């Protein structure tokens, strides 16, 4: 069994061994081995020219990655916490995301790092910011929920010709363990996965909320309800057809994510369901998300703000009773 964190590290290590153009740049990723020890041992194996300890300047790190990508390299840019991607936002959204459109030149880079709450990390280290980048045309956005998917999607992201923003939920790093294929393993971007079959209601979700949804589905079994869980895995590109197939089958949908409710990606999914599967619906589409609040530091307050299995189960019961 391999942890989510080790699966990501394995994917990066394999790609760096086979492709000399792949390198990493970020804060404390070399000598220290990364804030979460994901790159432990990388400096000894690959050397300081491919595992680059950068100064604390996300804009500079992002800019260096873009420049390297434009010159034939495949940088993996680490944000020590994805919250601080805001300091490199202009480089990523204004430059990297638009270069292929403006110049016809690929920008093969991965911007990766820990995101999400549930670990008492306070408002500066707990944000789920994936919707920002789904809105910035030209970027691909990946949010794996399992160790196997984390490895396969990371491999696909490194090999992609476009800038990819790769969100690793820190709460899953060592909590989630899977059977992960050895050696090279690729999960194509843009392919959702039905992780639990059901007939009565669909939960469309991704990232940490996949595990909440699976727990909620087990709770609903006691009510005699059959819940289908769809993990979209990537927000961009979005596998809309798998979502619609599930909703057309069950006739009911709940969309869940850990990010805040307002302007969260669940709204986009709900809109597409309403546009393309409205006549199949037997109840309104319901969303489950965090409250519109910074993530509190206090564990009791954090638990109250964030979604969980119980809140998803409540939403499921609501649409089933409609």
Q: Where does the chain show beta strands of DSSP type E?
A: 2-3, 22-26, 51-53, 74-78, 110-115, 140-142, 164-169, 177-178, 193-196, 201-205, 227-231, 234-236, 253-260, 286-290
The pTM of the full predicted model, rounded to 2 decimals, is 0.97
Residue 210's pLDDT is: 98
What is the C-alpha end-to-end distance of the chain, expressed in Å? 41
| Pairwise CA distance, residues 255 & 220, whole Å | 16
Residue 120's pLDDT is: 87
Q: Which residues are the active-site residues?
A: 125
| Pairwise CA distance, residues 251 & 134, whole Å | 27
CATH architecture for the domain at 193-321? 3-Layer(aba) Sandwich (3.40)
- In DSSP notation, 89-117 reads HIIIIIIIHHHHHHHS-----EEEEEE--
| Domain parsing of the chain, residue ranges | 2-178, 193-321
2-178 and 193-321 in the same fold: yes
Question: Could you read off the pLDDT tens digit of each residue along the chain, which spans 322 residues?
Answer: 999 999 999 999 999 999 999 999 999 999 999 999 999 999 999 999 999 999 999 999 999 999 999 999 999 999 999 999 999 999 999 999 999 999 999 999 999 999 999 888 888 999 999 999 999 999 999 999 999 999 999 999 999 999 999 999 999 999 999 999 999 999 999 999 999 999 999 999 999 999 999 999 999 999 999 999 999 999 999 999 999 999 999 999 999 999 999 999 999 999 999 999 999 999 999 999 999 999 999 999 999 999 999 999 999 999 999 9
Topology of the domain covering 2-178: Rossmann fold (3.40.50)
Residue 128's pLDDT is: 96
Residue 118's pLDDT is: 86
| Pairwise CA distance, residues 47 & 31, whole Å | 10
Candidates 192, 137, 131, 135; CA nearest to 163 is: 137
- Read off the tokens for 102: 């403006």
């Amino acid at each position: 069994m391999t942890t989510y964190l080790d699966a990501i590290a394995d994917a990066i290590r394999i790609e760096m061994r086979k492709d000399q153009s792949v390198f990493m740049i970020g804060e404390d990723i070399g000598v220290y081995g990364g804030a979460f020890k994901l790159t432990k041992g990388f400096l000894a194996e690959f050397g300081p020219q491919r595992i680059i300890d950068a100064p604390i300047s996300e804009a500079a790190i992002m800019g260096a990655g873009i420049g390297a990508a434009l010159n034939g390299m495949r940088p993996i840019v680490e944000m020590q916490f994805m919250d601080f991607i805001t300091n490199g936002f202009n480089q990523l959204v204004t430059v990297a995301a638009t270069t292929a459109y403006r110049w016809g030149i690929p920008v093969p880079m991965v911007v990766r790092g820990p995101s999400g709450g549930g670990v008492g990390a306070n408002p500066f280290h707990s944000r789920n910011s994936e919707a920002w980048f789904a809105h910035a045309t030209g970027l691909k956005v990946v949010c794996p929920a399992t160790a196997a998917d984390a490895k396969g999607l990371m491999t696909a992201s490194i090999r992609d010709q476009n800038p990819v923003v790769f969100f690793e939920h820190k709460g899953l790093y060592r909590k989630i363990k899977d059977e992960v294929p050895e050696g090279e393993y690729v999960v194509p971007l843009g392919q959702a996965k039905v992780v639990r079959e059901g007939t009565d209601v669909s939960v469309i979700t991704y990232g940490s909320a996949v595990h909440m949804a699976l727990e909620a589905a087990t709770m609903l079994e006691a009510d005699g309800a059959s819940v289908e869980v769809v993990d979209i895995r990537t927000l961009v590109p979005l596998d809309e057809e798998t979502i619609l197939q599930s909703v057309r089958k069950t006739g009911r949908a709940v969309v869940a994510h850990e990010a805040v409710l307002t302007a969260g990606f669940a709204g986009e999914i709900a809109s597409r369901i309403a546009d393309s599967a409205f006549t199949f619906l037997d109840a309104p589409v319901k969303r489950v998300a965090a409250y519109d609040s910074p993530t509190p530091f206090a564990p009791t307050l954090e638990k109250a703000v964030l979604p969980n299995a119980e809140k998803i189960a409540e939403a499921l019961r609501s649409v089933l009773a409609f």
